[in-house]
Chains A and B, each alone.
Chain A
Amino acid sequence: MNGFSLELPLTIIATLGAALTVTSARRGAWIALIIAVTAVALLEFHPTDTVPLTLVLRLAAIYGAILVALPPGLLTPRALIHDLAPRRIATTLTEHPVVAATAVAGLLLGAIPLALPIEGSSTLLRSAGVAMLLIGLPPLLTSRYVEATARAAVVTLSGALLLRGAILGPLDALSSLVIAGGFAALLLTGTAVAGQLTKAEEA
């Protein structure tokens, strides 16, 4: 992957995906999450000639957890076309102007250098990281829906990891393994608890 040519589109995709994850309805949110975490992983691990094992591990853990969490038959080509249509995305974002404004503010805020020793820092990665933190944190703290909270947790944590990656580079193998497991655990626990709550409320 050519880092210089793809960093900007990946930053936009990651931020847009994060915003749609916290604003879309159930299926759209899962699809947006898949796109957001893929863009974040590519930005964070920056694969060039070879694909790092840590990147494969991260994506495998999240995709696996989302596949388990998704109700069967939800991820169809028609659904993807419907949810990723530009008009649909624009409608969703205009219905949630605060989230859209937060995403833009995050991107701008991240472009300002932090008061940290950041000689090696990437502005685009930092922007995407700050934007995702700002997008994910409010629903993580306030949402009443378990699955939405789990998705917001993934967005927020991805933002923090991107911010960290902007300054210190990708995680070491052990931390990467733990974080990949953490992503999967957050999503699976969220799904299990949501199912348990639904059953308990129906009973």
Chain B
Amino acid sequence: MSDDPQITNSELQAYADGRLGEERSRAVEAWLAARPDDAERIAAYRRLGEELRRAYDPVLDEPLPAWLGGGRAPRPRWHGFARIAGWVVLGAAIGVVAGWEVRDARPVAASRADPGEIMAHRAAVAHAVYSPEVRHPVEVGADQEAHLVAWLSKRLGTQLRAPKLEAVGYSLVGGRLLPGENGPVAHFMYQCNQGTRITLYVRTNVTGNRETAFRYAREGSVSVFYWIDSKTGYALSSADVSKETLLSVANAAYQQLNPP
């Protein structure tokens, strides 16, 4: 029996989830050792799990919308009085509780009301998630730059440009589409000869329509320079370069993206 352990598909799934007991894990590992294709498949399942968590866990830290966190009344819905009445009751209950508990539990996220700061936060998270990727740092590579820019422009509904940063030592690796706060976001990745990466996060329809000068934010180990120009927000992030270097790259990008 132990020479030829019967491995069920359920056990493989449980193994991918790290939920199999020690003994069966060893049996699965022995089984996979002789089957590289299956081993790669199970490893891919684990990676997908990690990517899923990285993609959606940030939602946990997003500030609750006003209708959940108290403050404004819920959006009007006209499906019937009972529905609205139910909401008033729930809104009151949650408003009281959330005001004390949910907000207290997440003071940083809840206090981020400024669209620029929210963008900088999301850009830093995106940088932290994608810049360490070795095999899949981008969806579309720089070898298809025209396609990349056309695709992202189409999805964001505005003509985008990937700035040329060779003059400051960085070349385009490629880009990807990201889910943003209220729509798609374009994410360009650059790399210098030493392999250091910088990412440019571009979103549209920034509310408030405030133009800003460069602002600086730091999230964990990631530094971000960001600015807003006619509803388009830009955030340049890196974890590996000095603030001065990042600023010089931000200046170069700014001059191309926002010509006077």
Q: Tell whether A pairs with B.
A: no
